[in-house]
Structure 1
C-alpha cells in the first residue's frame, strides 16, 4: 500500500447519467474551487487523490454503469493510487443503505440534495453567495441550466420522484442572474432542463410560469440560443409556443417526451393523456410554428405491451414525422407503481421492438434531411475533429441530435456562428459548405 504524501488534495468529479447530474457536478466543482480546493472533471491523468462519482439510478443499464464505476475506483483506492472515493447522485440517494453494506470501501455516500454535507468532508463551507455559479464541464459556449428540481408527476415507470423528491422551482430573478453570469463567461446557448419544464412556477408563483421565465431569459444580452428540454405533454401550456414564436433567441425546438402512442400503454403508464389529445397538441404546436423541430422519447417493452401497441407507435411516427426520436427499453424499477405488474416482455424482445421502431424513424430522418439539401442554416461550431468542423443548427441539441459537418479551408473559431449551405444529407447528419 502506497503511503499518503503531504500533497495538496485534488478532486476528480466523474458524472454519469443525465444533464441534471452534469449541472450538479458543476455546482460542486464551483464550491470546491471557491474553497481553494483543486478540482477537475473526468480527468484521465493520475493527478488527483480524491474521486467523487455522481451516479445515475434511473434504469438498469445506468445503475450497472454506476456500480462498475464505483468498483473500478475502489480498486484504485486498494492499490493506493487514490486516497478517497465519495459517491453522490441518484443511485446513492436511492440505495445508500444497501450500497454501504455491499461496498464498505467507499468513504462516504451522499444523496442528491446533500451538497453542504459533502463539502464538510473537505473541510469546506457551502458558499451561498455562489448561488448559480459553477465550473462548467461543457465547452464554454453552451451550458445546461436547471430551472427546477424534482417532479410531482406519477408516471408508473419512473423512479425520479423517489430520488429527486417533489417539484421545486428556482425563482426567476435567480435564474436570470445565473444566465447573465454564464453569458459573461462566454456562454451563447443555454439548454433549459428540469424533470418537467411545464410545471415551472406552480409551487412559488401558483401558476405555470415558464412563459414569463422565457421572456426574462430572452432579454439577457448576449444570450443567442435558448433551448427547451423535457416538456410534459399533459396540460401543455401553449403560451410557451407563443413566446418561442415571438422571441428570436428561443430556438424553434421542443423536447417533449411522449413515451408511447397506444392508449392502453399511455393509461398503464399513467401519462394523463390520450393519443387523440397528443395528435391535437402536436397539430396545434405545428400550426403556431410551422417548421418547429419536435423531439420525443419513447419506451418499448412496458408490462403488457403487445405487437399491436408497437404497430401503433410505428403508425404514430409515420403520421407525425418527428424530427428527432430517442428510445428506451422498459426497466422494472422498485418503488414505482409499475413494479407491481409482471415484467413480461423479455429483454431481447424489448430490444427488438426498439430497433424496429428506430428503423421507421431512421427512414423519416433520412427523408427530412434530404429535403435540407440546398437550404441555408445558421450554425454554431462545437468542435474540430479529424480535420473537420462539427456544428449544429437551432434544430439540434448537444450530443443527442444531428450534426452539420463542415469542411473549411479557413479556421472557424469554436463557439462562433457561421452560415452554411447543406450539400449532403445522411440518416442523421448533414454536410455543409460555408456561405
Structure 2
C-alpha cells in the first residue's frame, strides 16, 4: 500500500456540466491561488493529492457522469493515490445527504453557494478584493461572464431553482469591472451567461435592464464580440434588439432555449407562452436584427407528449429554420412539478423523436451553410489542429456551434486573432475557407 507523504498540498479542480459551472471553478481557482494554495484546473500531470469535483445535477446523463467521476476519485483515494476528495456544485447541493451516506470516501460535500466553507478546508479565506478577478480555464481570448445566479421561473421540468436558488443579478458596475479586467488580460469575446439572462435587473433595478448592461459592456475597450446566451422567451425585453442592431461589437447571435413547439406541451411545461407567440417573437427578432443567428434547444418526450404534439414541434422547427439547434430527451427530475406526472413516453420513443428533429435540423443547417459559400466573414481563430486552424464566426459560440476550418498552406495565424476568411465549401455543421490577408 502506498504511504501518504507529507508533501505540500496540490489541488486539482475537475469541472463537469455547463459554462456556468466553469465560471464557478475559475472563481474557486482564483480564490485558492490568491490564498497561496497550489491549484490547477483539470491538471494533466495527475500529481495532485487533493481533488475537488465540481458537479452537474441537471439531467440524468449529467448526474451519472458526476457520480461516476466522484466514484473514480473515491477509488483513487482508497488506493492511496490522493489524500483528500471534496465535492461541490449542483449535484452536491441537491443530493448532499444521500451522497454523504452512499460515498463516505468523500471528505466533505459543499453546495453551490458554499465556496467560503470549502476554502476553510485549505485554511484559506474568501478574499473580497479578488471579486471581479478571474483565472481563465478557456482560451485567453474569450471568457464567460456570468451576469446573474439562480432562476425565478416555474418551468415544470427544471430543477435549477432547487440547486441555484432565486434569481440574483450582479450590479452593472461589478460586471463592468470584471469585464474590463478580462479585456486587459487579452479577452476579446465575452459570452454572457445566466440561468435566465433576459430577467437581468428585475431584482436590483426593478426593471429588465439587460439593454443597459449591454451598452456598458459594449463600451469597454478591447472587447470586440459580446455574445448573449440563455435568453428566456416569455417577457423578452425587445429593447435589447435595438442595442444589438446599433452596436457593432454585439454579435448577431442569440441563444434562446424554447423547449418545445407544441402549445399544449408549453402550457404543461409552465413556460408562459405558446407556439404562436414564440413564432411571432422569432420573426420580430429577425426583422429587427437582420442576419441574426438564433440558437435554441428543445425537449423530446415530455410527459403526455403525443405523436401529434411531436409533429407540431417538428413543423415548428421546419418553419423557424433555426441557425443552430440542440435537443434533449426528457429527464424525470425529483422535486419538480413534472415529476407529479407519469413519465409515459418510452425512452426509445424519446430518443427516436430527438433523432428525427436533429435529422431535420441537419438539412436546415446544410441549406443555410451553403448560402455562406463565396462570402467572406470575420473569424476568431480558436486553435490549431492537424495543420489547420479552427475558428468561429459571430454566428457561433464555442463548443456548441459550427466551426470554420481554415486552410492556410504556408500562412501562419495567431490564436486569438481575428481574420477575414472566404468560405469555399460547407457541410451541415462546418465551413471551410481561406484567409484573406
TM-score using structure 2 length: 0.99
What is the deviation of 1:314? 1.3
Q: Secondary structure at the match of 1:44?
A: coil
Aligned to 1:332: 332
Q: Cα distance, 1:189 vs. partner?
A: 0.4
Q: List runs of 5+ in structure 1 lacking aligned partners.
A: none
Aligned twin of 2:109: 109
Counterpart in the other structure of 2:430:
429
Counterpart secondary structure, 2:419: strand
Shift of 1:46: 1.9
Stretch of structure 1 that moved more, 208-217 or 36-45:
36-45
Superposed CA deviations along residues 371-402 of structure 1, whole A, max 9, x for unmatched, are: 11001100000000011100000000000000
Distance 1:227 1:55 in 2: 25
- Alignment correspondent of 1:189: 189
2:418 corresponding residue in structure 1: 417
CA distance in 1, matches of 2:422, 2:317: 28
- Whether 2:391 is the aligned partner of 1:391: answer yes
**Residue aligning to 1:68:** 68
Question: What corresponds to 1:157 in structure 2?
Answer: 157
Spell out, residue by residue over 1:43-90, the C-alpha distance to the aligned partner (whole angstroms, 9 max, x if none): 132221110000000100000000000000000111111111100000
| Aligned position for 1:16 | 16
The 5-angstrom pairing of residues 305-384 of structure 1 reads 305-384=305-384
Report the 3-state secondary structure (helix = DSSP H, G, I; strand = E; otherwise coil) of the residue aligned with 1:422.
Answer: strand
1:41 Cα deviation from its structure 2 partner: 1.0
**How far does residue 309 in structure 1 lie from its aligned partner after superposition?**
1.1
Cα deviation for residue 218 of structure 1 reads 0.3
Please give the alpha-carbon distance, in whole angstroms, between the structure 2 residues aligned to 1:8 and 1:116.
21
SS in 1 for 2:139: coil
Aligned to 2:145: 145
For 1:166 and 1:217, the matched residues in 2 are separated by 25
CA distance in 2, matches of 1:130, 1:44: 26
Deviation at 1:141, TM superposition (A): 0.4
Give the Cα separation in 2 of the matches to 1:192 and 1:5. Answer: 43
Distance in 2 between residues matched to 1:39 and 1:290, nearest whole Å: 45
User: How far, CA to CA, are the matches of 1:8 and 1:248 in structure 2?
Assistant: 49
**1:226 and 2:226 equivalent?**
yes
SS of residue paired to 1:198:
helix
d(CA) in 1 for partners of 2:347, 2:132: 41
Partner of 1:195, secondary structure, is: coil
* Residue 400 (structure 1) aligned with residue 368 (structure 2): no
SS of the equivalent of 1:182 reads helix
Query: What's the CA shift for 1:4?
Result: 2.1
Report which stretch shifted further, 40-49 or 356-365: 40-49
Root mean square deviation of aligned Cα: 0.6
Return the offset for 1:2: 2.1
* Cα distance between partner residues in 2 of 1:28 and 1:70: 18
Q: Distance in 2 between matches of 1:404 and 1:279?
A: 29
Deviations 1:203-254 (A, max 9, x none): 1000000000000000000001000000000010100111101111100100
Q: Distance in 1 between matches of 2:120 and 2:378?
A: 46
Alignment of 1:28-43 (within 5 A): 28-43=28-43
How much has 1:135 moved relative to structure 2?
1.3
Structure 2 residues not aligned, in runs of 5+: none
Residue 211 (structure 1) aligned with residue 211 (structure 2): yes
TM-score norm. by structure 1 comes to: 0.99
Distance, in Å, in 2 between the alignment partners of 1:394 and 1:39 is: 34
Distance 2:193 2:331 in 1: 23
Post-superposition shift, 1:6?
2.1
Question: What is the alpha-carbon distance in structure 2 between the residues aligned to residue 308 and residue 357 of structure 1?
Answer: 14
SS at match of 1:279: helix
Q: Deviations over 1:172-196 (max 9, x none)?
A: 0000000000011111001000000
